[in-house]
Amino acid sequence: MISVKDLHKTFDGQEVLKGISTEIDKGEKVAIIGPSGSGKSTFLRCLNLLEEPTSGEIWFEDQLITDPKTDINKVREHMGMVFQSFNLFANKTVMENITLAPVKLGLMNKDEAREKAMSLLQLVDLVGKADVYPASLSGGQKQRIAILRSLAMNPKVMLFDEPTSALDPEMVGEVLEVIKVLAEDGMTMVIVTHEMGFAREVATRVMFIDEGIIMEEDTPDRIFTSPRSKRLQDFLSKVL
């Protein structure tokens, strides 16, 4: 579904990604782990071109999205993204947050979008919050709504950029729960995370990124029980 070929990214002369190649198939749940500053978030943000790669190719369903001629907005409609800092639209109610994009992009009319939003809100038990502004929500509620906002577009893949890193510990569970349900539903996803337990439980593949390359990737079992590279062993000994 997503195919990445020799991806490089340089920020102000500093090379953050030094050649990443990988394939992500439909239905896969890829967890990306690695030390901070390793380039894992940059890699994720390159997948929907929020970060423009310096060189390399990214294919999404046989479409070369790094080609400047590709309409990236159209591609993004199919790739949901959830951010560490939620980024709910502060000037819109929860309902408007969820319905804005599907309506503006002409995928649904207002009524359809509202209906869809309501059924999504039911899923996470937040129907009562439909008409409030994000400022009055807790972090966990914000992130669950942010996930719904992406889901309202019926994406083919979901990208999660450290979705629980900005949450108070007691709220991590409720967000991971939603992601888990999504995973069980068969959603293709790529998750940058520091939640090793979650990665191990939900992921079908774990990718260890360090110093701008994929150091190691394998099934969660093998990554966590028999890491091969020294860097991964060091990293795991620090976080587990």
Partner 1 sequence: MDNISTKFYNAFIYKDRWILYFKGLGVTMEIALLAGVIGIVIGCIVALMKLSEPKKGRKHTIPWYIATVYVDIIRGTPSVLQLLIMWFIVFSSSNNGVLVASLSFGINSGAYVSEIIRAGILAVDKGQTEAGRSLGLTRGQTMWEIVLPQAFKNVLPPIGNEFITLIKETAIVGYVSLSDLTRTASQISSRTYEAFMPLIGAAVIYFIIIKILTLLLGALERRLRRSDIR
Choosing from 25, 52, 168, 184, the residue that interacts with partner 1 (CB under 8 A) is 52
Per-residue b or e along 14-27, where b marks 16 or more CB atoms closer than 10 Å to that residue's CB: eebbeebebebeee
**Could you tell me where the DSSP H helices lie in 59-213?**
72-76, 94-104, 110-123, 139-151, 169-184, 196-202
Q: Which stretch binds partner 1 (CB under 8 A): 23-31, 34-42, 67-75, 223-231?
A: 67-75
Contact, 47 vs 2, CB < 8 A?
A: yes
**Helix, strand, coil shares of the chain as percentages rounded to 5?**
40, 25, 35
* 74 binding partner 1? (CB under 8 A): yes
Phi and psi, residue 80, nearest 5°:
-75, 150
* 8 binding partner 1? (CB under 8 A): no
Choosing from 24, 79, 167, 189, the residue that interacts with partner 1 (CB under 8 A) is 79
Q: Which is nearer to partner 1, 59 or 89 (CB)?
A: 89
Phi and psi, residue 11, nearest 5°:
-110, 115
- Interface map 173-192 toward partner 1 (x if CB under 8 A): --------------------
Shortest spacing between CB 109 and partner 1, in angstroms: 17
Choosing from 43, 83, 208, 224, the residue that interacts with partner 1 (CB under 8 A) is 83
- Interface map 125-154 toward partner 1 (x if CB under 8 A): -------xx-xx---------x--xx--x-
Q: Which stretch binds partner 1 (CB under 8 A): 24-32, 59-67, 73-81, 185-193?
A: 73-81
Shortest spacing between CB 163 and partner 1, in angstroms: 13
* 34 binding partner 1? (CB under 8 A): no
Residue 201 Cα distances to 11, 86, 87, 172, angstroms: 34, 23, 27, 15
Query: Which strand ranges, in their side-by-side order, compose the sheet holding 14-24?
Result: 14-24, 2-11, 55-60, 63-64
Q: Measured between alpha carbons, how far is 133 from 90 in angstroms, rounded to an integer?
A: 7
Q: Which stretch binds partner 1 (CB under 8 A): 11-19, 20-28, 90-98, 219-227?
A: 90-98
The closest alpha carbon to 21, from 8, 43, 44, 5, belongs to 5
List interacting residues with partner 1 (CB under 8 A).
Answer: 48, 50, 52, 68, 73-77, 79-81, 83, 85-92, 100-101, 104-105, 132-133, 135-136, 146, 149-150, 153
